[in-house]
């Protein structure tokens, strides 16, 4: 499913400035730190690893990433989002940039993340090429996208005749095969992860939290919390809510030697 109300990048930028100013729409995966921790535990960045979060929004992921590395960078098409990110996490370097024409030099980052963003680009293929350009040889990309055929969406269609939406002016929801085909044109896909509500924490953590609830007299809430974790963990990949693609460049990149290995951030 693709929405065509937005036709150019100026309109897209205006749309996101409005959304971030008013706080409208589903502008992030609303799972607290558990989602960020889930991504970071997959990537396992070292203290000196450079990370670029593309379409960083208000900087929630970068705030968590600072617990792993000091080299955290962000970019977003919305000036308001970048302002909020820099206010939330002063230690990061975030700039206003179009994800399809990134304002970073090539071979700059060891890790690039795109978390729930690729589906909101006018030309996602162009963005993937920019990810590749800015990634260092041997670097990794983690791309997180929604599934049009998530099990829960079928219930919404049956009950309300309503398809999936993130309440944004331009969005697309596609099946696993579509995303896999698009991403594999630019990267080697090492692994595809599934992500469903309540599965950002491990079963062991969910059980311990449920046990704590039971001790506090909230037995039913504890049982429900563990039950949700188990149920959504059992959903097959093809009908899960989100896909996480862990990728690398398909071959060693050739290009001019690096004079400085640190990412270069344009002056504002």
Q: Give pLDDT tens digits for 173-219.
A: 999 999 999 999 999 999 999 998 766 656 556 556 667 776 778 77
pLDDT of residue 219: 74
72 CB neighbour count, 10 Å cutoff: 26
pLDDT of residue 199: 65
Name the H helices within the chain.
9-22, 33-43, 60-65, 79-88, 124-134, 151-160, 176-184, 203-215, 219-233
205 CB neighbour count, 10 Å cutoff: 13
Helices H / strands E in the chain, number of each: 9, 7
pTM: 0.83
- Name the token pair of 115: 């978390």
- Name the token pair of 189: 């896909």
The share of the chain scoring above pLDDT 70, in percent, equals 78
257 pLDDT band, cuts 50/70/90, is very low
Taking the C-alpha atoms of residue 164 and residue 8, their distance in angstroms, rounded to an integer, is: 23
Cross-strand bridge partners of residue 246:
142, 191
29 pLDDT band, cuts 50/70/90, is very low
Fold topology of 9-24+32-196+238-248: Rossmann fold (3.40.50)
Residue 165, CA distances (Å) to 92, 153, 213, 254 in order: 30, 10, 33, 40
pLDDT of residue 31: 44
Residues of the chain with CATH 3.40.50.150: 9-24+32-196+238-248
* Average pLDDT of the chain, as a whole number: 84
9 pLDDT band, cuts 50/70/90, is very high
pLDDT of residue 264: 61
pLDDT of residue 259: 42
pLDDT of residue 188: 97
Tell me the average pLDDT across 102-130: 96
- Name the token pair of 256: 């001019």
pLDDT of residue 205: 64
Taking the C-alpha atoms of residue 12 and residue 27, their distance in angstroms, rounded to an integer, is: 14
Q: Of 66, 96, 64, nearest to 79 (Cα)?
A: 96
pLDDT of residue 201: 58
Taking the C-alpha atoms of residue 108 and residue 258, their distance in angstroms, rounded to an integer, is: 9
């Amino acid at each position: 499913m693709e929405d065509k109300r937005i036709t150019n990048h100026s309109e897209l930028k205006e749309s996101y400035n409005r959304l971030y100013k008013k706080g409208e729409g589903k502008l992030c995966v609303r799972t607290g730190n558990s989602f960020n921790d889930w991504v970071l535990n997959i990537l396992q960045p070292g203290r000196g690893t450079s990370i670029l979060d593309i379409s960083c929004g208000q900087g929630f992921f970068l705030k968590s990433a600072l617990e792993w590395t000091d080299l955290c960078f962000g970019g977003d098409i919305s000036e308001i989002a970048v302002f909020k990110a820099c206010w939330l996490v002063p230690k990061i370097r975030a700039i206003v940039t179009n994800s399809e024409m990134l304002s970073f030099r090539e071979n700059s980052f060891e890790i690039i993340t795109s978390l729930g963003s690729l589906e909101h680009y006018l030309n996602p293929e162009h963005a993937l090429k920019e990810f590749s350009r800015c990634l260092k040889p041997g670097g990794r990309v983690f791309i997180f996208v929604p599934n049009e055929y998530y099990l829960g969406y079928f219930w919404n269609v049956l009950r309300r005749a309503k398809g999936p939406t993130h309440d944004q002016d331009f969005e697309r929801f596609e099946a696993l095969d579509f995303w896999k085909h698009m991403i594999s044109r630019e990267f080697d896909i090492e692994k595809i992860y599934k992500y469903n509500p309540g599965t950002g924490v491990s079963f062991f953590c969910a059980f311990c939290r449920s046990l704590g609830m039971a001790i506090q007299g909230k037995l039913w809430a504890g049982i429900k919390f563990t039950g949700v974790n188990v149920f959504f963990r059992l959903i097959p990949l093809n009908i899960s809510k989100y896909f996480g693609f862990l990728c690398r460049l398909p071959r060693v990149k050739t290009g001019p030697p690096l004079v400085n290995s640190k990412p270069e951030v344009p002056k504002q």
